[in-house]
Amino acid sequence: MTAHELSRKLASKELSARELATATLARVGAVEPTVDAFLTITQDQALAQAQAVDDRRARGEALGPLAGIPLALKDNMATQGIRTTCACKILDNFVPVYDATVAARLGEAGLVTVGKTNMDEYAMGSSTENSAYKVTRNPWDPTRVPGGSSGGSAAAVAAGQATVALGSDTGGSIRQPASFCGLVGMKPTYGLVSRYGLVAYASSLDQIGPLTRDVRDSALVLSAIAGHDPLDSTSIPQPGKDYVAALEGGVKGLKIGIITELMGEGIAPEVRAAVEAAVKVLEAQGAQVDHVSLPNSKVALSTYYIVATAEASSNLARYDGVRYGVRAENPHDLMDMYLRTRAHFGAEVKLRIMLGTYTLAAGYFDAYYKKALQVRTLIKRDYDAAFEKFDVLVSPTAPTTAFMLGEKTDDPLAMYLADIATIPINLAGVPALSQPCGFDALGLPIGWQLIGKPLAEETLYRAAYAYEQATDHHTKRTAAL
């Protein structure tokens, strides 16, 4: 069931929060051997949080719509007293002493945390095969990937192990798993949601957002986590909003642009056909549809892998064995401690650190990093120009449906291309939402992506909700488990 459906049952006392938490934990136990979505399961804490919600309700306290709803958190968000590993052995024993702002806000809203989810190590990957601990499987077909890097969060929601989840999105890491797992994934405007307590990968690109079963649930969760945070210097200084209130507006007169560069070569025919059919649904409701060109999209992938790896090289320099995390035992000297401690990084993380360090090196900085920042500006200008004519831009979320486990692990470029439609959005800093728009011949979910102007999340929710009300793709649940 969705969060808003469960919320009504909880409010009417047809269901207690403790009963819901117990049932959810039982589901985790039943399917986790197949899905492997979690790195840490917080059973005792979940039951205690659920009981606290029931006690508050019994006392007649006013509770929000998400009180008692089971939540999963990606394991790169700090949780006080609960291990936070980023799926890396270097943080194997790291237990934060504070909560990330998003975790604190959802705790205040009464959500019940059932666990921390698996991910690509330090959020570097598109398949959740780069975790140091386990490989998460797609609940729709356990021989396939759930997407990445928030694959554990997406798989947990798709498998019924949590009602809602949070992921982080640096180049598509919320939206692509949402597409592969048949969910709604929202990447908000950069700065709308606090990054305080999010372990950094690429600080100018990272953003936290919800993974949910439908659009209303997504709006509920974003309403709870958005808003200014003085602890995050990049947080936009504006209060949060009630995004649920924006759902009912309809799309009549809305101008929708189909991105030409993301509907051609490399896009699977079934994916393209599903997106074209989805556009027609909104057009039938009064939206005005045309095509739009974003010419610099073709260099977005190259730009991203310079900017992101350079920032990763800088951010991950802190893992030196001095302050926190794993420390090499009995080092001969300081350099030996650094080398043996940082050997705990996985292969993909080492690759990206080396790429980033190279592009920042003297003699290469101007040729690579500075040039990439200039191209990033051109990409953003493409979006600015498009939004002078259109309210929403659309494209496939991913070029294909979920691919097989191991299919792309030996070909980094093929793996990187899985994010070709999502990466430009992070470079531009604009919001984007992925939602189910069909299924391929194998019964695997297809997602389409709706992209908005900065701080136009309400418009995206309005369009996505209008589409959802006219279709039933979001009601389908996996029968594989």
Tell whether the torsion through CA atoms of 273, 278, 281 and 283 is positive or negative. Answer: negative
Catalytic residue among 74, 116, 187, 453: 74
Q: How far apart are CA 247 and CA 210, in angstroms?
A: 16
Residue 343 DSSP code = T
Q: CA gyration radius for the chain?
A: 21
Report DSSP letters for 261-294, one per residue: GGSSTTS-HHHHHHHHHHHHHHHHTT-EEEEE--
Q: Residues of 111-131 as b/e, b for ≥16 C-beta within 10 angstroms?
A: bbbbbbbbbbbbbbbbbbbbb
Return the number of other C-beta atoms located less than 10 Å from residue 12's C-beta: 8
CA-to-CA separations, 242 to 50, 62, 222, 456, in angstroms, rounded: 24, 17, 8, 13
Report DSSP letters for 197-250, one per residue: TBPPSSTTT--EEEEESSHHHHHHHHHHHBS--TT-TTS-SS----GGGGGGG-
Q: What is the 3-state secondary structure (H, E, C) of 44-88?
A: HHHHHHHHHHHHHHHCCCCCCCCCCCEEEEECCECECCECCCCCC
Q: How far apart are CA 301 and CA 417, in angstroms?
A: 8
Closest by CA to 286, choosing from 238, 325, 253, 328, is: 253
Catalytic residue among 16, 173, 223, 297: 173
| Matching residue, tokens 């019964």 | 443
CA-to-CA separations, 192 to 188, 189, 216, 476, in angstroms, rounded: 6, 6, 19, 31
Q: How far apart are CA 327 and CA 341, in angstroms?
A: 6
149 is catalytic: yes
Q: Tokens at residue 217, please?
A: 């649930």
74 is catalytic: yes
Catalytic residue among 127, 131, 149, 218: 149
CA-to-CA separations, 228 to 186, 210, 224, 276, in angstroms, rounded: 18, 17, 12, 37
Residue 141 DSSP code = B
Active site residues: 74, 149, 173
